[in-house]
Chains A and B, each alone.
Chain A
Amino acid sequence: MNVLIPTPLHSYTGRKHVLGSGATLRAVLEDLDRQFPGIRFRMIDEQDRMRPHIRFFVGGHQVYDLEQPLSATDDLRILQALSGG
């Protein structure tokens, strides 16, 4: 599936659009981490919780669960909800 990467994570991917694969959000993020080592931990903590200000959208709807089923035709958009100064 197509994955949109927010600019703070372009240092890992080198581009804003990448391809990821997996049947769940968890699996896609693990696939991204295989391609771009270290990227998952910047978004998901060691207790498997989404970090504050990191948001995941599939088909325009926010996803809160790492076990959310995904299909190969879905578009995954990762957002860093910037706040503060």
Chain B
Amino acid sequence: MARSTGRGGQGGRGARRAARTTVLVATRKGAWLFHGDPQRRSWRADGPHFLGHIVSHLVLDPRDGRTLLAAAKTGHLGPTVFRSTDRGRTWKEAARPPAFAKAADGTGRAVDHTFWLTPAHANEPRVWYAGTSPQGLFRSEDSGASWEPFSMINDDPQYREWMGSVQDGTPDGPKLHSIIVDPRDPKHLYFGMSGGGVHETRDGGKTFRPLVKGMEVVEGFDAGSVTFHDPHCVRMCPTNPDRLYQQNHCGIYRLDRPSDTWVRVGRAMPKTAGDIGFPMVVHPRDQDRAWVFPMDGTTVWPRTSPDGRPAVYETRNAGRSFKRLDAGMPRKQAWWTVKRQAMAGDTRDPVGLYFGTTSGELWASRDEGRKWACVARHLPEIYAVETAAFA
């Protein structure tokens, strides 16, 4: 079965049979597909698609292995979603992209861009979820052709307070991201908001509740206020949906349900690296293994590789310790930033890992991070990296 990373997957024998990996790269100026040979040694660039469009996310539907969705806009036109069912040879625009309900008094919000795309449960084969900036949650039941506001959160006064204003979010707008579907129950969903915390529903979106206990906030602010929580990336373990990992503005966390208290496992990171960053990847078959890409969160928060020496860090024991993995990367003067959607893994054995930098380089490891090689450079600023195995 084909799948894209970044959400609960199947792993196991079926995934290991996948012969080829494609890396889906979304950038500030378009999208590229990098098709790997069976050994993942050489990569063929296919692109640009949508040259000049800001592409926030490009995702393959793992349920059919052929439907690609791209969240796109230009710097000046409104946002939309494109769909392809032929590996990106042709694209068709959504008839109704994600858009908030119109407010009678003219004060309603407008979607600036769709930021995150998540295929829904395997038993809902045409359903997708989308997260937007400013924060909104949307659902499509026709493979991305039309989208409707989903659940109560978009217009709920309490959620609107937790979302804050545009000034409370990231520089290019506050985001709703990390939409996660429990593979055991299509009504059990999680999402994160930057800012605005992590949230959970068990009734298919009729109600949501915050899940921020144990998460820290910037010094001097009240961790009891959901508003101040800034999860950067939340991941569910494919082999154990009761385990979540999170890279937060304030550290790396693990949550083992039914507990609702996050544990800051990032305390085990070396002090020289710290535990600040954006992306997080979980091993497709081992709930104790995960990878992060730490960035400098000191002084004015440069959010570049600490000391100009980039590295991925891996835990093999659920966050009790971390090991530096940097073979093949520059030893000095590499001031990389990797955004929250810009790191992914495939499901092959050994697992392939991939990340893209804001300076336009795509890096890959085909042995679970032991050695790294640059696949492409001179791309535009990379916003998102996903993996895909086409049917």
Q: Is the beta-carbon distance between B100 and A46 smaller than 8 angstroms?
A: yes
Q: Least Cβ distance of B147 to chain A in Å?
A: 11
Report B105-148 residues with CB < 8 Å from chain A CB. Answer: 106-111
Known: A38-B93, A38-B95. A47 touches B108 (CB 8 A): yes
A82 near B76 with CB under 8 A, answer yes
Q: Is A37 an interface residue (CB 8 A)?
A: yes
Chain B residues in 8 Å Cβ range of A49 = 110
Name the CB-closest residue of A to B76. A53
Query: In the complex, A44 Cα to B77 Cα: how many Å?
Result: 9
Residues of B within 8 A of A8 (CB): 52, 74, 76-77
Candidates B74, B75, B94, B110; contact of A47 at CB < 8 Å: B110
**B80–A38 CB distance below 8 A:** yes
Q: Are B110 and A46 in contact (CB under 8 A)?
A: yes
| Cβ-closest chain A residue relative to B109 | A47
B343 in contact (CB, < 8 A): no
Q: Is A84 an interface residue (CB 8 A)?
A: yes
Query: In whole angstroms, how far apart are the Cα atoms of A43 and B97 in the complex?
Result: 13
Is there an interface contact between A52 and B76, defined as CB atoms closer than 8 Å?
yes
Q: A37-B95, A41-B80, A41-B99 are in contact. Are A84 and B75 (CB under 8 A)?
A: yes
Cβ of A17 within 8 Å of any chain B Cβ, yes or no, is: no
Smallest beta-carbon distance B298→chain A, Å: 30
Q: Which of A38, A52, A82 has the most CB of B within 10 A?
A: A38
Chain A 42-76 against B: per-residue CB contact (8 Å), 1 yes, 0 no? 11111111011110000000000000000000000
Distance in angstroms between the alpha carbons of A9 and B160 in the assembled complex: 33
- Determine the chain A residues whose CB is within 8 A of the CB of B101 once the complex forms: 46
Measured between beta carbons, the chain A residues less than 8 angstroms from B110 are: 45-47, 49
Give the residues in chain B near A9, CB-CB below 8 Å: 77
Cβ of B78 < 8 Å from any Cβ of A?
A: yes
Check A51/B102 contact, CB under 8 A, given A37-B95, A41-B97: no
A81 to B76, CA, bound (A): 8
Is B76's CB under 8 angstroms from A46's CB? no
Judged by a CB distance under 8 angstroms, whether A24 is at the interface is: no
Given contacts A37-B95, A38-B95, A41-B97, contact A46 B102 (CB under 8 A): yes
Cβ B109 vs Cβ A51 within 8 A: no
Residue-wise, chain A 1-28 has the 8 Å CB interface mask toward B (1 for contact) of 0000000110000000000000000000
CB neighbors of A among B279-325 (8 A)? none
| A46 with B99: CB separation less than 8 A | yes
- Report the Cα distance A45→B73, complex, angstroms: 13
Residues of B within 8 A of A (CB): 52, 74-78, 80, 93-95, 97, 99-103, 106-111
By a beta-carbon cutoff of 8 Å, the part of chain A in contact with chain B is 8-9, 37-38, 41-49, 51-54, 80-84
Q: List 8 A-B contacts (CB under 8 A).
A: A8-B74, A44-B78, A45-B111, A46-B110, A47-B102, A47-B107, A53-B75, A83-B76
Query: Can you add 14 more A-B contacts, CB < 8 Å, to A45-B110, A83-B76?
Result: A8-B52, A37-B95, A38-B80, A38-B95, A38-B97, A41-B78, A42-B77, A45-B78, A46-B100, A46-B108, A47-B108, A51-B78, A54-B76, A80-B77
6 interchain residue pairs of minimum CB distance: A45-B110, A46-B99, A42-B77, A53-B76, A42-B78, A47-B108
